[in-house]
Amino acid sequence: MVCSVSEVRAAAPSHKLPSASLDNPALASTRPQGWVKEVRIMDWQIIVALVVFVPLILLPVAFVWFLNFGGIYAARRAAKRKEVQARATKEAG
């Protein structure tokens, strides 16, 4: 059976609710049936994805930051050492 898009849209139930009705317990009966169940099904999958992928993304980022800040710290330390050495030779000179 082939249906046009307009036929499918006409047959589909319309659940156009204002966003406030989802938070209002008095309007709970107007919520589409099963909407809480759908959210719960995806919850554990999203949590697992975050637990797996966040460290995979953040560890290399932290390593690069460590290399960058380590290089900046070493350069500043070397510049300070040169400055102290130049001051000491100027005073001794």
> pLDDT tens-digit profile of 19-73?
555 566 666 666 666 555 555 666 888 989 999 999 999 999 999 999 999 999 9
Higher pLDDT, 16 or 30: 30
Higher pLDDT, 81 or 91: 81
pLDDT at residue 29, rounded to an integer:
63
Lowest mean pLDDT among 1-5, 14-18, 68-72: 14-18
Q: 3-21 in b/e burial notation, b at 16+ Cβ within 10 A? A: eeeeeeeeeeeeeeeeeee
**Interatomic CA distance for residues 35 and 28, integer angstroms:** 11
pLDDT band for position 82 (50/70/90)? very high
57 and 64 Cβ atoms separated by less than 8 Å: no
